Structure 1
Amino acid sequence: MRASKSRRQAQILAELDRLPSLRVADLAERLAVSTETIRRDLDELTGQGRLNRTYGGAVRMMNSEPAMNERHALHVVERQRIAAAVVGRLAGARVVMIGSGSTTLHVARQIAADLRDLTVITHGFAIAAALSANASIKVVMAPGEYHAGEGATVGVHTTGFLSNFFADVAVLGASGLTEEGPNDALIESAAVYTAMTRRAARTLVAADHSKFGRMFPARYSGWSEVAELVSDSAPDGAVAAALAAAGVAVTPAP
């Protein structure tokens, strides 16, 4: 009985790796058990932190993300490699939008070191500060409500301001990357990234391998709206298949 339950719950988790959500009735039919048995399984898996219960089913467990100051200390070497690769993809760009984030901060530092005569539109205060080291770079700071945890402006004033501009490239980070697209832990930041994606001729996502397969509350675009992913390694599985289907170029940082 215990082994049977263990196998059944393993199948449920495997299904959630393949699908973003599951319904009790569908699981009961697929696994040839009662709906009450499935509900007990889902309740138990929720208690273990393996998934989230919803009305009538379950969804993948939402990940939690460290605070910005903690994220700066993670995957530093990988992010430096990604930043160098991103700057190499900005040839010919005159106007760039950059979203807030720890990886994009490395990108801003690399831009300040390597590029000249560029206009950068951003909502991240650390991004603007890093770019200020290069006097030839004009920084346009988006207004809005200050989010202390992210060190950036967010809200309707930020997204409305961005709608008045157009960029050659938008460089955006992500909290997670799934087959549905890049996502972010902060709904407010995701809205800003969506606005940047819509106002750029080309969107480039810069994210390290730890983001592959991770799901957070707010998806800010589909892969069809992204031109390129720059990472320290190439994803596999469902994420790789989705990128290929959408024609997204994958650039591994050397």
Structure 2
Amino acid sequence: MLAAQRKARILEEVSLAGAIRITDLAEKLGVSEVTIRRDVETLANQGMVDKVHGGVTSNSLSSTLEPSFDSTSKKEQGAKDAIAKLAFELVRPGMAVALMGGSSVYALAKLLKDLPNLTIVTNSVPISDLFAQSPRGDQTVVLTGGVRTPTDSLVGNITSEVFSRFNLDLVFMGTHGMDSEFGFSSPNLVESETNREVIKRSQRFVVLADHTKWGMRGFSSFASFEQADVVITDSQLPKTALASLNESVRDVRVAQIR
């Protein structure tokens, strides 16, 4: 693994965990602790992370770090599957549905594969690939163009232009962060701009967000709590956070997980 690849992985792991030990990073990356310490020193000097005794933590700049689709898809899978089941109840045959990028929406896409008479518009390469594996004659899947992000989503002016041509019944959207003051947010400024445009094209805006998203702030907000028609989260969300959502969101649904 090249030094640049190692540093990217370190930033990704720190972004996901918030804090991680040097020994754990060395094990995950398959290199020595000395090598990890050297990489962390470089990243800390660049202001990307903070060094602590025996480990490394994210700092205020971590709001711009965007983990890959592969890494996020392995996190909180039980919660995402439970959330997806509740989201599935909102979809009916004959609807035009936007499925935006991210692992939470991908979990929903797996359930929608067998639902007839759907029109799917997506900016997610993994979701497009999923439907392409077993295409149905009664489903139409439109993959937008755009610039690819680390989450394998397509964003930018081309993406927004494609979505502007449609009138959508539902848009399902994940979020990097969910904060009572900052709303729903992304580390990617262009992705936030794209999300804002897509929300305008849909009759109902549905956010899928597991409990780990609470209190996190990405670099750019794309919607306030009040703008969401439905928020689907899971039962591990703290009671105070759930109360905050209920104060601002019309319809909050909680998926039960063990």
Query: How many pairs were matched up?
Result: 200
Aligned partners of 2:215, 2:251: CA distance in 1, in Å?
Answer: 18
Give the whole-Å Cα distance in 1 for the aligned partners of 2:253 and 2:165: 30
Amino acid at match of 2:117: D
What stretches of structure 2 of length at least 5 have no aligned partner?
1-49
- Where does residue 14 of structure 1 map in the other structure? none
Partner of 2:186: 184
Q: State how far apart, in whole Å, the 2-side matches of 1:192 and 1:139 are.
A: 19
Shift of 1:250: 1.3
Deviates more, 1:137-146 or 1:95-104: 137-146
Q: Structure 1 residues 127 and 243, CA, compared in 2 at 3 Å: closer, same or farther?
A: same
Identity %: 19
- Aligned residue type for 1:222: S
Which structure has the larger Rg? 1
- Give the match for residue 39 of structure 1: none
Quick one: distance in 2 between partners of 1:238 and 1:227?
A: 20
- Aligned-partner Cα distance in 2 for 1:190–1:124: 15
Superposition map of 1:109-124 within 5 A: 109-113=110-114, 115-124=115-124
Q: Distance in 2 between matches of 1:232 and 1:131?
A: 26
Secondary structure (helix, strand or coil) at the match of 2:113 reads helix
Q: Deviations over 1:200-253 (max 9, x none)?
A: 111110111111111110111111210111112264466445423323311111
Alpha-carbon distance between aligned partners in 1 of 2:220 and 2:94, rounded to the nearest angstrom: 28
Tell me which of 219, 222, 225 is aligned to 2:224: 222
Question: Residues 247 and 154 of structure 1: is their aligned pair in 2 closer, same or farther, counting only changes over 3 Å?
Answer: closer
1:155/1:247 Cα in 2 relative to 1: closer, same or farther (>3 Å)? closer
- In the other structure, the counterpart of 2:41 is none
* 1:159-187 per-position Cα deviation (integer Å, ceiling 9, x unaligned): 12211211011000011100131111222
The answer to whether structure 1 residue 77 and structure 2 residue 78 are counterparts is yes
Which amino acid is 2:73 matched to? H
* Structure 1 vs Structure 2 CA RMSD: 2.4
Quick one: which amino acid aligns to residue 221 of structure 2?
A: R
Distance in 1, matches of 2:67 and 2:146, equals 23
- How much does 1:150 deviate? 2.2
Question: Alpha carbons of 1:232 and 1:145: their partners in 2 closer, same or farther (altered >3 Å)?
Answer: same
Partner of 2:201: 199
Distance 1:47 1:72 in 2: 27
Deviation sequence 1:107-149 (CA, Å, 0-9, x none): 1111113x110101111111112223240221011122233x2
Q: Deviations over 1:61-82 (max 9, x none)?
A: 7385532211111111111111
Give the match for residue 210 of structure 1.
212
Q: Name the TM-score, length of structure 1 as normaliser.
A: 0.71
Separation in structure 1 between the aligned mates of residue 84 and residue 135 of structure 2, nearest angstrom: 17
1:150 to 1:81, Cα distance in 2 relative to 1, 3 A: same
8 Å contact from structure 2 (residues 66, 188) kept in 1: no
Please state if 1:166 is matched with 2:202.
Answer: no
Contact 1:177-1:239 at 8 Å conserved across structures: no
Q: Which amino acid aligns with 2:107?
A: H
- Paired residue for 2:146? 144
